[in-house]
Amino acid sequence: MKPYHRWNKVGRVVWGVVALAIALGFVLVGVHMGVRAEPLGGIAAVSSSTLPYREAQEPAISFIDSPDATCYRPTAGTGVCYIEWRNLSVTAAPSSYIISMTVAIDGQLRAYHSGFFQDYMSIPAAMTAPGYKVACGAPGSGGDEFWGATYSYVIRAGESGGLTAANYGSVMCPADEVAVFLPLIRR
């Protein structure tokens, strides 16, 4: 019977060590999940805004890349201009997807692009060719005597994580007026 009693004592010790390990595991998980200890007296607390990993804990949608907004007049004397971008692109935060990207010119929604389980969206100029139609404007109508109207634009993007981004700007169009000649009719 002696071997049985020895194993019984060893078994209790082993189970005690296992129970202690489990208790320490719960303590470590609690610390890892955000339970914070108060700083000791005389030691200054480190601000959470100065920690280098702060950005990694709060992912954000990337900025919208919209280079070179241009306004051009394809045919003189028509008063019609087109605003276009070489490329519009945005990237979602990690483990999120782009839901939509919109283009508004002077407060009017001009384009809505939607995504489907994609973490990156790129809209090349060929997809919106020839561009977004606007009135060129008379000389000086946008504030510069040699140019036409000035248009403001807002490009917005949203992702599945609820984050959004916006890009604002303005573009000046070349001046152009419609020349209408009415025949002189005598009565």
For the segment 141-163, what is each residue's pLDDT rounded down to a tens digit? 988 899 999 999 999 999 988 88
Task: Calculate what percentage of the chain has a pLDDT beyond 90.
Answer: 36
Q: Is residue 164 part of a domain?
A: yes
Q: Report the alpha-carbon distance of residue 71 to residue 59 in Å, rounded.
A: 35
- Give the pLDDT score at 107: 93
Tell me, yes or no, whether 100 and 152 share the same domain: yes
Tell me, yes or no, whether 20 and 83 share the same domain: no
Tell me, yes or no, whether 21 and 64 share the same domain: no
pLDDT tens digit sequence for 82-137: 999 999 989 888 888 999 999 999 999 999 999 888 888 999 999 999 999 999 99
Tell me, yes or no, whether 14 and 96 share the same domain: no
SS3 30: helix
Global pTM value: 0.62
Tell me, yes or no, whether 27 and 69 share the same domain: no
Token pair 């389980």: residue = 117
Q: Is residue 135 part of a domain?
A: yes
Angle at 82 between CA 78 and CA 88, to 5 degrees: 175
- Give the pLDDT score at 38: 38
Q: Report the alpha-carbon distance of residue 110 to residue 6 in Å, rounded.
A: 83
The total number of structural domains in the chain stands at 2
Task: Calculate what percentage of the chain has a pLDDT beyond 70.
Answer: 67
Long-range contacts of range 69-74, CB-CB < 8 Å, 24 or more positions apart?
69/153, 69/169, 69/171, 70/171, 71/134, 71/136, 71/151, 71/171, 71/172, 71/173, 71/174, 72/131, 72/173, 72/174, 73/136, 73/173, 73/174, 73/176, 74/130
Q: What is the CATH number of the domain that holds 122?
A: 2.60.40.10
Do 169 and 104 contact (CB within 8 A), yes or no?
no
Range of the domain at 9: 1-31
Tell me, yes or no, whether 16 and 65 share the same domain: no
Tell me, yes or no, whether 78 and 147 share the same domain: yes
Tell me, yes or no, whether 91 and 2 share the same domain: no
Of the pLDDT bands very low, low, confident and very high (cuts 50, 70, 90), residue 8 is low
Q: Report the alpha-carbon distance of residue 82 to residue 74 in Å, rounded.
A: 8
Tell me, yes or no, whether 8 and 78 share the same domain: no
Q: Is residue 186 part of a domain?
A: no
